Amino acid sequence: MSITTWTWVIIGITFAIYILVAIRARAVSTGAFYAAEQTIHPVLNGMATGADWMSAASFISMAGVISFMGRDGSMYLLGWTGGYVLLAMLLAPYLRKYGKYTVPAFIGDRYYSQSARIISLLCAIFISFTYVAGQMRGVGVVFSRFLNVPINTGVVIGMCIVFFYAVLGGMKGVTYTQVAQYCVLIVAYMVPAIYISIMLTNNPIPAFGLGSSISPGGAEILQDSSTQGRYLLDVLNGIHKDLGFTEYTSGIRPKIDVFFIVIALMVGTAGLPHVIIRFFTVPKIRDARASAGWALIFIVLLYTAAPAVAAFARTNFIKTVHNVEYAEAPQWFKNWESTGLIAWVDKNDDGIMQYGPGKVFAGKPTYTGTTGHFGQAMVSNVVSAEPNELYVDRDIMVLANPEIARLPNWVVALVAAGGLAAALSTAAGLLLVISSSISHDLMKGVLMPSMSEKGELLWARCGAAGAVVVAGLLGIFPPGFVAQVVAFAFGLAAASFFPAIIMGIFSKKTNVYGAMSGMIAGIGFTAAYIVYFKFINPGANKPENWWFGVSPEGIGTVGMMINFALIIIVSKFTPEPPEEIQKLVDRLRYPVERTLGETKASAKARAPY
Amino acid sequence: MAREQELQAYWKENLKYIIVLLSIWFCVSYLCGIVFVDQLDKFKIVGFPVGFWFANQGAEIIFCLLIIVYVRLMNRLDRKYDVYED
């Protein structure tokens, strides 16, 4: 069967599974819609969290980003995993004990303030929308690249699927589909990774293959017998040196900036509402801890393979393309040329492709539709003076991987299904946050407190439906700033929720004045810094202009510190929180309080605090 | 009152675990993976420069282990102070 047929078949099967699961897991109460009735097994919740967390960017782009950044790319690997340690120890068990459904509800109750609740619900909605726009676009992009469907049609197909299980099933439907999606995406990622690892290094575990030496078969694929028996990373460093790049295993980004970015990503992860709410779905407090561990194990499975995929793809790419005549170029090169992910400009007119540091031309290639006299697709971009002749999009490192490794067609189709699973599962989690912020916090919590459960459930479904439509529109008409503001989502989560939640649990004396001033200052500072460097004065976005050498991506860390400092100082000089709030904070700290007659059954029915 | 003191002792022990485990968390990621990465890169385990390994895989694997250890410690602590959910 051809790649296209295989892709339709595999995507069709996976979509059918998602729909089937959604029908079986319909939510009929708000408890099921927001928290799946707190019945999800911690291992399953770990899988769902993994799918929820790993987005289109993790699946499609991350390995490519690492392969172009070398060691500097590890900041994403560190930053997007370390937050789970914070979740397991500092947040998940206590928020689960609190026992309600949303982050704004916790903040509103803990700080006995509707304004605190409103600020955090606005933050939650803003963060989730900036994040979800990229996911819907990702669905469209996968459809267009693998099936030649227009991007917009792809977005609409994605909308219909998500609409179905998020609106009908709520958290319950989303959880079980996310479990299925995790299975699809991890298989889709690991199969090509394992194949390539065996081909190049004879090691079936990609993570270990990265540190292995190149096998005789691998040397043959790289068309260079001198690489045989040498460590892959040494070979890659050598190639980099020869071409004028810095060594692959060395970094060029200032350490202080990397340090701040990693903190912002870790703390942001722990403060992102769509991750936190996943821990409301497990039956017990100790399950919340265990579930964070399972989630991280499932995530690290992919995250330790990613740097291996990055290094394999980079070595393979340079070795099979650099200094090769275009006429002799591998088949995948020509396949992907038509999708705009790769382009060759024959600057010195010798018919040979030369690769090196520097950009071939500014921006993405715009094809003229004609072919040059070697048969290459011509572009109309103004070329730079650099000797580099190859434009390579980072996404190709994952998307074209199966073809580069000459794997069977069904593996290529599997990668398409995996990319869709990653994008759809993250989108669904985010849509739930938007929906519950609207129905539970805004409508029930602030505007119409007397609403019945039925009414609230209706609002929740409407909220989810509305959010799907808006997210789809953002995917079809992507505002130019989406890529710029993803850093914003993490920075904002780090600078707003994280300090307020942590201090709310670990310090009884933290009061509403501290929390409000901290959140407002943290959000305000972070937003101002990012808006200035990304929108008002993008030309000034250079290390010499950054405060303390921290880029806009890492500034959420400074915002978080400001937030913490204000919470502590202001709380010290203003009245303590009421007695009952302090008692309630106490109760968050113990899984059950037997002297107060708490049991599992009563904990479930516990009145909201 | 005795029960109250017990519960406070439970919380203190919990905080102690958190501090110790988060110190390890900080060392493997921020110190080994970022601050001292170039010094560690001078050493090699198989084909990996050590600092590069910590940043790319080591810290992530140790994160998993830290959570596993914390979960076990806390389950034991919950039982010891009779706050274990049944």
Q: In A73-167, which residue ranges form alpha helices assigned H by DSSP?
A: 74-86, 92-98, 103-110, 114-147, 151-162
User: How is residue A360 annotated by DSSP?
Assistant: S
Instruction: State how far the Cα of A73 lies from the Cα of A248, in Å rounded to an integer.
Output: 10
Instruction: State how far the Cα of A399 lies from the Cα of B15, in Å rounded to an integer.
Output: 45
Helix (H) or strand (E) holding A312: helix A285-321
Instruction: State how far the Cα of A75 lies from the Cα of B55, in Å rounded to an integer.
Output: 8
Helix (H) or strand (E) holding A51: helix A42-53
pLDDT digits (tens, 9 = 90+) for B14-48: 999 999 999 999 999 999 999 999 999 999 988 89
Partnered with residue A523 across adjacent β-strands are none
Worst-scoring range by mean pLDDT, A197-201, A520-524, A533-537, B27-31?
A: A533-537
Determine phi and psi for A378, rounding to 5 degrees: -90, 145
Q: Which residues contact B29 (CB under 8 A, 6 or more apart)?
A: A78, A82, A262, B54, B59, B63
Q: Could you tell me how many helices (H) and strands (E) chain A has, helices first? A: 28, 6
User: How is residue A91 annotated by DSSP?
Assistant: I
Range 3-22 of B in CB contact (< 8 A) with A: 3, 7, 10-11, 14, 17-18, 21-22
Q: Do B55 and A74 touch (CB under 8 A)?
A: yes
pLDDT digits (tens, 9 = 90+) for A424-468: 999 999 999 999 998 888 888 888 888 888 888 899 999 999 999
Q: How far apart are the first and last CA of chain B?
A: 24
| Chain B contact set for A250 (CB, 8 A) | 38, 41
pLDDT digits (tens, 9 = 90+) for A120-146: 999 899 889 888 888 888 888 888 878
Instruction: State how far the Cα of A331 lies from the Cα of A403, in Å rounded to an integer.
Output: 8
> What are the residue ranges spanned by the domains of chain B?
15-80
| Chain A contact set for B85 (CB, 8 A) | 284-286, 591-592, 600, 603
**Tokens 């949303």 belong to residue:** A102
Nearest C-alpha of chain B: how many angstroms from A602? Answer: 11
- The answer to whether A395 and A355 are in contact (CB under 8 A) is no
Instruction: Take residue A101 and report the two structure tokens written for it.
Output: 């459904």
Q: Do A71 and B34 touch (CB under 8 A)?
A: no
User: How is residue A272 annotated by DSSP?
Assistant: -
* Mean pLDDT for the stretch of residues A395-406: 81
Determine phi and psi for A551, rounding to 5 degrees: -75, 165
- Determine the residue type at A524: G
- Count of other CB atoms within 10 angstroms of residue A381: 19
Domains and CATH numbers, chain A: 11-315+408-604 (1.20.1730.10), 323-396 (no CATH)
Nearest C-alpha of chain A: how many angstroms from B61? Answer: 7
- The answer to whether A165 and A21 are in contact (CB under 8 A) is yes
Worst-scoring range by mean pLDDT, A263-277, A297-311, A343-357?
A: A343-357
pLDDT digits (tens, 9 = 90+) for A188-238: 999 999 999 999 999 999 999 999 999 998 888 888 888 888 999 999 999
DSSP string for residues in A6-25: HHHHHHHHHHHHHHHHHHHT
Nearest C-alpha of chain A: how many angstroms from B60? Answer: 6
Instruction: State how far the Cα of A241 lies from the Cα of A247, in Å rounded to an integer.
Output: 6
**Tokens 């000459």 belong to residue:** A406
Nearest C-alpha of chain A: how many angstroms from B65? Answer: 8
For A89: left if phi > 0, alpha if psi spans -120 to 50, otherwise beta; the answer is alpha
Q: Do B66 and A232 touch (CB under 8 A)?
A: no
Helix (H, G, I), strand (E, B) or coil at A551: coil
What ipTM did this prediction achieve? 0.96
Give chain B's length.
86
CA-to-CA separations, A420 to A74, A162, A398, A555, in angstroms, rounded: 24, 11, 13, 31
**Does the CB of B83 have a partner CB in chain A at under 8 Å?**
yes
Interaxial angle between packed helices A42-53 and A285-321, expressed in degrees from 0 to 180 and rounded to the nearest 10: 40
Instruction: Take residue A361 and report the two structure tokens written for it.
Output: 């031309």
Report chain A's mean pLDDT, rounded to a whole number: 88
E strands present in A338-376: 342-344, 352-353, 367-371
Instruction: Take residue B51 and report the two structure tokens written for it.
Output: 């600092």
| Chain B contact set for A254 (CB, 8 A) | none
pLDDT digits (tens, 9 = 90+) for A306-359: 999 999 999 988 888 888 888 888 888 887 887 778 888 888 888 889 898 888
Range 44-73 of B in CB contact (< 8 A) with A: 45-49, 52-53, 55-57, 59-61, 63-64, 66-68, 70-71
Worst-scoring range by mean pLDDT, A20-34, A95-109, A499-513?
A: A20-34
| Chain A contact set for B66 (CB, 8 A) | 85
Binning pLDDT at 50, 70 and 90, where does residue A608 land?
very low
Shortest CB distance from A74 goes to which of B10, B25, B33? B33
**Does the CB of B36 have a partner CB in chain A at under 8 Å?**
no
Q: Do B56 and A307 touch (CB under 8 A)?
A: yes
Radius of gyration of chain B (CA): 18
Binning pLDDT at 50, 70 and 90, where does residue B70 land?
very high
Instruction: State how far the Cα of A384 lies from the Cα of A379, in Å rounded to an integer.
Output: 13
- The answer to whether A571 and A511 are in contact (CB under 8 A) is yes
Q: What is the pLDDT of residue A482?
A: 55
Shortest CB distance from B11 goes to which of A259, A589, A593? A589
Instruction: State how far the Cα of A435 lies from the Cα of A274, in Å rounded to an integer.
Output: 11
* Mean pLDDT for the stretch of residues B63-82: 94
Binning pLDDT at 50, 70 and 90, where does residue A531 land?
confident
Q: Which residues contact A337 (CB under 8 A, 6 or more apart)?
A: A343, A344, A376, A377
CB half-sphere exposure, A249, CA atoms < 13 A: 30
Helix (H, G, I), strand (E, B) or coil at B25: helix
Q: Do B83 and A292 touch (CB under 8 A)?
A: no
Pairing outcome for strands A377-379 and A367-371: antiparallel
- Determine the residue type at A167: V
* Residue among A123, A118, A55 at smallest CA distance from A498: A123
Nearest C-alpha of chain A: how many angstroms from B83? Answer: 5
Radius of gyration of chain A (CA): 25
* Mean pLDDT for the stretch of residues A479-492: 70
Instruction: Take residue A315 and report the two structure tokens written for it.
Output: 């070595």
**Does the CB of B40 have a partner CB in chain A at under 8 Å?**
no
In chain A, what's the furthest Cα-to-Cα distance?
A: 85
Instruction: State how far the Cα of A264 lies from the Cα of A365, in Å rounded to an integer.
Output: 33
Instruction: Take residue A16 and report the two structure tokens written for it.
Output: 């059918």
- The answer to whether A405 and A199 are in contact (CB under 8 A) is yes
**Tokens 């909308």 belong to residue:** A159
| Chain A contact set for B74 (CB, 8 A) | 93, 286, 289
CB half-sphere exposure, A566, CA atoms < 13 A: 23
* Residue among A144, A131, A371, A465 at smallest CA distance from A275: A131
